[in-house]
Amino acid sequence: MVTETVQVAETPATSVDRRQAARQDEEAWQVTRRHGPTSYYGLPVLKDPRWGWQIPVYFFAGGLASGSYLIATMADLFGSREDRAVSRAGRYIALLALVASPVLLILDLGRPSRFTHMLRVLKVRSPMNLGTWGLLGFGIFAGMGILRQWVEDGLVSRSSALARALGWMPLQVSGVLGSLLAFFVGSYTGVLISFTNAPIWAKNRLLQGPLFLASALSSGISAVTLWLTLAGQSNPHTERWMKQLEDTVVMGEAAATVGTIATLGPLARPMVAGRYAAALWLGAVGMGNVLPLVLRRIEDSVHVGARRALRIARGISSLTGSLIFRWVDARLAGPAIEDPGFYFAFTRGRD
């Protein structure tokens, strides 16, 4: 049993103290009168979920796995011989990211040993439940992809039971199904956070998913390019279509960001002014999109040796920016949740 001594305010001894106490009382009354009708002492209404760093990092890892797998599968299904390296790189990156993802999620749980409870039910109205099943399914298909890669690389013999079991599902079928699940895993986290009452996320319900998907594809492209550069396997043919795709994705990301700010309106204030604004514009947008594009322009006009270094820098910058974006988006909800004015304005704007 813990007993605590409760501090009791001492009665003011002198008349000066009493006057000061009376003035403080009066100030308290004034504060109450100001805050009275608009909120209860300015205390927060909504509660912050207080997710740890594992959650934004998982958003990044899940997106990375999704983007890499999609690039790999598209290259495998529709690409040419030169794109085989892309397929290989994407599959390995997806595997690494997918091994990390459930570890991150389990670590953030209040009771990590009960993580299997997520699979007790299938609840279509709970994005977190759907996401758990989606992650499981995606993991299976990514595992199949890696198995195919190991067969191709000769690590698993073609006549083994595993390879033959793989043959039961044609490449096209597993590619399409896996891609559907990859699209889901890369974007459902955005929809998940918009299914809460946090004003920044909930008001942006239309664009939160597309925003996360664009970021996932962008990090997938960057990671595959970085891998190919480091392994010395990049070739002009692959580079061309990956650069074209990167342009499209960056445009999509920019459009989603602009749309987000337009949708949020006054609620977008923490995005442009506040402690996360610098991280958002310098880190997420600057390092994530602007710097890589600038480096790409420079890359075409320098000699080959520096080109490799620039490409590596481009990849690292883009991936870091993507990670910062996830972190900022998770943290941005904090001010919106803690300020009752925000939440009441958000609720009053509805029917």
Least distance in Å: CB of 78 to another protein?
Answer: 5
Q: Give how far Cα 198 sits from Cα of 52, 66, 204, 273, 284, Å.
A: 17, 26, 10, 18, 21
* 10 lies in the site for another protein, by CB under 8 A: no
Q: What is the dihedral angle through the alpha carbons of 53, 59, 65, 67, rounded to the nearest 10 degrees?
A: -140
* 139 lies in the site for another protein, by CB under 8 A: no
Least distance in Å: CB of 249 to another protein?
Answer: 7
Least distance in Å: CB of 70 to another protein?
Answer: 7
Nearer of residues 253 and 283 to another protein, judged by Cβ = 253
How far out from the chain centre does Cα 283 lie?
14
* 123 lies in the site for another protein, by CB under 8 A: yes
Q: Give how far Cα 273 sits from Cα of 188, 267, 279, 286, Å.
A: 28, 11, 11, 16
Least distance in Å: CB of 202 to another protein?
Answer: 6
Q: Which stretch binds another protein (CB under 8 A): 96-104, 146-154, 245-253, 284-292?
A: 245-253
Residue of the chain from 18, 117, 158, 164 that contacts another protein (CB under 8 A)? 117
Token readout for 25 is 């009382």
* 197 lies in the site for another protein, by CB under 8 A: yes
* 281 lies in the site for another protein, by CB under 8 A: no
* 115 lies in the site for another protein, by CB under 8 A: yes
Least distance in Å: CB of 148 to another protein?
Answer: 19
Q: Which stretch binds another protein (CB under 8 A): 91-99, 147-155, 236-244, 308-316?
A: 236-244
* 263 lies in the site for another protein, by CB under 8 A: no
Nearer of residues 31 and 309 to another protein, judged by Cβ = 31
CA atoms within 13 A on the CB side of 1: 1
Least distance in Å: CB of 185 to another protein?
Answer: 11
* 23 lies in the site for another protein, by CB under 8 A: no
Instruction: Measure the N-to-C terminal CA separation of the chain; round to a whole number of Å.
Output: 50
Footprint of another protein on residues 150-179 (CB under 8 A)?
A: 179
Footprint of another protein on residues 35-54 (CB under 8 A)?
A: 36-41, 43-51
Nearer of residues 33 and 303 to another protein, judged by Cβ = 33
CA atoms within 13 A on the CB side of 23: 6
Nearer of residues 117 and 158 to another protein, judged by Cβ = 117
Residue of the chain from 23, 158, 244, 266 that contacts another protein (CB under 8 A)? 244
